[in-house]
Chains A and B, each alone.
Chain A
Amino acid sequence: EVDRAHWISEKAELTNRILKLESERKLFESHKFDLCRRVKMLEYALQQERLKNNSLL
């Protein structure tokens, strides 16, 4: 009986841990996505600046 209760609580703990890690991973994923978009944005801004400079030349 005691073993069973112990097993259940351990299982719940592990499930919680999995959930936490999964949500952390999701957060990192979307953070990475945002960062990629920012990089592209800056690349685009740089390209525009270069175009402007080239046309001036």
Chain B
Amino acid sequence: MASINTESDDYHPIVILIDELKNEDIQLRLNSIKKLQSIAKALGPERTRTELIPYLQDSVLEDEDEVLVVLSEELGNLIEFVGGAEHAVCLLPPLQILAGAEELVVREKAVESLCKIAKEIPTSSFEESFLPLLFSLSKADWFTSRTSACGLFTVSYPRANAEMKKSLRKTFGGLCHDDTPMVKRAAATNLGSFAKQIEKESVKSEILPLFQSLSTDEQDSVRLLGVENCALLGSMLTNEENIQFILPTIKASSLDKSWRVRYMVARLLKELCESMGTEITKTELIGAFVKLLKDTEAEVRTEASLRIADVCSLLTKEMNIKTILPCVKDLVSDSSQHVRAALAQVIMSLAPIYGKEDTLTHLLELFLHLLKDDFPDVRLNIISKLDQVSKVIGIEMLSQSLLPAIVELAEDHQWRVRLAIIDYIPLLASQLGVEFFDEKLGNLCMTWLGDPVFSIREAATNNLKKLTEVFGVDWAKNNIIPKVLSLHSHPNYLYRMTTLFSISTLSTVVGGDVISSSMVPLLAKMVSDKVPNIRFNVAKTFQTIIPLLDSTIVQSRVKPLLVKLHEDTDKDVKFYASQALQLC
């Protein structure tokens, strides 16, 4: 027994914890707090309550914020180790201190753990300990505790009795009128979820005035949080009540002098429309939306543009054409490229709403305008959503109007514009389908191979590879390969070289059969080209295709050609041929 007793000092769990927390390496302290449960397990529930928790409460709070975050989280997980829900109250005091910490993340974790405990503990201890904790936090001197208190109302309200509920509402009201904007912000953040727990009568008499005072606050950071509450509160009230209480606030926010508040309205517009219902949206919100689309700040216009399709789907087509369409027309030539890109992202989704006729008369012109935009993101957004339009107006109509624009860009005299269009071709092809592509765009892809600018030719060969991935090897065998290979007899050696580059890129996707049947014979012909550049590029091309071919074909057909090249008079041809020979 005696030996155990002397040992007990060294291996006493709290002593171990103290030792570990004395370590100067923060990583080790973090590790030991993360394993707090094993300490509690060794101590057993009773000694955890009487020894571990008081120790934590007194001494650990001087540690770094990172350790405190983990501690706040672990305390929430200790419920079963202190003897279950009926003893969970003992976890509250340390969490109360952590909820008043200076660092925001620590407080957030502490509030999270407190909410977890509030749901577990029995009603008697809830009233005796948890509610007093909530009240003392909300009356604390330092604002940090008061902001944390704001997060606890939502979980406590359903569990409190009638009298307590009344004082909870009163305390929350006090926090909404706090001196510091930080507390008001926290109150505004939690207002909506708190209101959801409250009886409707009290919402109208007590919460709505708070909501109104917060949304007319002098700080814009407080006001913008009110916008989210508009949607939450609106969904709880009837139509008439919404018109009376919520609508004025939404309207005021959409005309707010701070653009951040207007931005918030634009961002949450869909939620606002949903909570207000279609009637109010049609009569009232549409006007506010039009103003946001014409806002002076580009950020607000961007957010509003992104919501166009959502809002339009709630309106009738006539209203759409009368009110929204003129704004869209203005936005197409907006000065900010981000606004145009946002518009291009959603404008295609308008086609199903407008139907075939109106899409053709009103929207098509705007699509084409955006397709010719200077900013690449705008063009990309238009091209990547083409399938939505083709479903409505049919591929025939689309190709008639779209194709001229694409062809025009593909033959632009600026090579960067041509390059940009090439990048979109695989995407376009996958959206429009193989038949459409063969008929209209196939030739275009081939003319790029004969472009005077090398970058275009290079991009065009890569493009062919991507097209093969989209449409399959059989398609490539019939449509691309014969045309590519016909370039080998071009009088200019630079174009003959394009054939070689195409063979290198295509060989990785078409498979050994096609290479040996149509590519190798051609290479055999080009071995005796009179330009050395072509000859050593043949050797280089062999380097890429040898690993893809069957070894018997390599030995019987490729090796003799390389041996011939190796005896060339040109130094470079010799060099590359010998490199390729090593692979055989």
B165 interfacial by beta-carbon distance below 8 Å: no
Q: Which residues of A contact B44 (CB under 8 A)?
A: 45
The answer to whether B11 and A37 have CB atoms under 8 Å apart is yes
B516 interfacial by beta-carbon distance below 8 Å: no
Q: Which residues of B contact A34 (CB under 8 A)?
A: 20, 23, 28, 31-32
Q: Which residues of A contact B11 (CB under 8 A)?
A: 37, 40-41, 44
Q: Which residues of B contact A44 (CB under 8 A)?
A: 4, 7-8, 11, 42
The answer to whether B38 and A42 have CB atoms under 8 Å apart is yes
Instruction: Categorize the interface residue count of chain A.
Output: 10 to 19
- Shortest CB-to-CB span from A46 to chain B, Å, is 9
B13 interfacial by beta-carbon distance below 8 Å: yes
Interface string of A20-55 (1 = CB under 8 A from B): 000000010011001001101110110110010000
- Shortest CB-to-CB span from A10 to chain B, Å, is 30
Indicate the member of A30, A38, A47, A48 with the most B CB atoms within 10 Å: A38
Q: Which of these, B4, B27, B35, contacts A38 with CB under 8 Å?
A: B35
Residue tally, chain B, CB below 8 Å to A: 22
Q: Which residues of B contact A47 (CB under 8 A)?
A: 4
- Shortest CB-to-CB span from A49 to chain B, Å, is 8
For chain A, what secondary structure do more than half of its interface residues adopt (helix, strand, loop), or is it mixed?
helix
Q: Which of these, B4, B8, B16, B28, contacts A31 with CB under 8 Å?
A: B28
The answer to whether A37 and B16 have CB atoms under 8 Å apart is yes
The answer to whether B28 and A45 have CB atoms under 8 Å apart is no
Q: Which residues of B contact A51 (CB under 8 A)?
A: 4
The answer to whether B42 and A30 have CB atoms under 8 Å apart is no
Q: In this complex, what residue of A is CB-closest to B43?
A: A45
B25 interfacial by beta-carbon distance below 8 Å: yes
For chain B, residues 16 to 53, give those with C-beta under 8 angstroms from any C-beta of chain A.
16, 19-20, 23, 25, 27-28, 31-32, 35, 38-39, 41-44
- Shortest CB-to-CB span from A7 to chain B, Å, is 33
Q: Which residues of A contact B16 (CB under 8 A)?
A: 37-38, 41
The answer to whether B23 and A30 have CB atoms under 8 Å apart is yes
The answer to whether A27 and B8 have CB atoms under 8 Å apart is no
The answer to whether A27 and B28 have CB atoms under 8 Å apart is yes
Q: Which residues of A contact B38 (CB under 8 A)?
A: 38, 41-42
The answer to whether B23 and A45 have CB atoms under 8 Å apart is no
Q: Which residues of B contact A40 (CB under 8 A)?
A: 11
C-alpha gap A41/B42 in the complex (Å):
7
For chain B, residues 453 to 478, give those with C-beta under 8 angstroms from any C-beta of chain A.
none
The answer to whether A45 and B42 have CB atoms under 8 Å apart is yes
The answer to whether A30 and B28 have CB atoms under 8 Å apart is yes
- Shortest CB-to-CB span from B293 to chain A, Å, is 56
C-alpha gap A31/B44 in the complex (Å):
24
Q: Which of these, B19, B27, B42, contacts A42 with CB under 8 Å?
A: B42
The answer to whether B13 and A41 have CB atoms under 8 Å apart is yes
Q: Which residues of B contact A37 (CB under 8 A)?
A: 11, 16, 19-20
- Shortest CB-to-CB span from B426 to chain A, Å, is 43
C-alpha gap A48/B4 in the complex (Å):
9
- Shortest CB-to-CB span from A56 to chain B, Å, is 15
C-alpha gap A48/B8 in the complex (Å):
10
C-alpha gap A22/B243 in the complex (Å):
69
Q: In this complex, what residue of A is CB-closest to B20?
A: A34
Q: In this complex, what residue of A is CB-closest to B12?
A: A41
C-alpha gap A41/B11 in the complex (Å):
5
Q: Which residues of B contact A48 (CB under 8 A)?
A: 4
- Shortest CB-to-CB span from B141 to chain A, Å, is 39
C-alpha gap A47/B19 in the complex (Å):
22
- Shortest CB-to-CB span from A20 to chain B, Å, is 14
- Shortest CB-to-CB span from B38 to chain A, Å, is 6
C-alpha gap A47/B492 in the complex (Å):
91
Q: Which residues of A contact B42 (CB under 8 A)?
A: 41-42, 44-45
Q: Which residues of A contact B12 (CB under 8 A)?
A: 41
The answer to whether A27 and B35 have CB atoms under 8 Å apart is no
Q: Which residues of A contact B23 (CB under 8 A)?
A: 30, 34
Q: A37-B11, A48-B4 are in contact. List 7 more A-B contacts (CB 8 A).
A: A27-B25, A30-B23, A31-B28, A31-B31, A38-B16, A41-B13, A42-B38
10 contacts between A and B (CB under 8 A): A30-B25, A31-B31, A38-B39, A41-B38, A42-B42, A44-B4, A44-B7, A44-B8, A45-B44, A48-B4
Q: Which 9 pairs across A and B sit closest by C-beta, in order of nearness? A: A45-B42, A44-B11, A41-B11, A41-B42, A40-B11, A37-B16, A42-B42, A41-B13, A41-B16
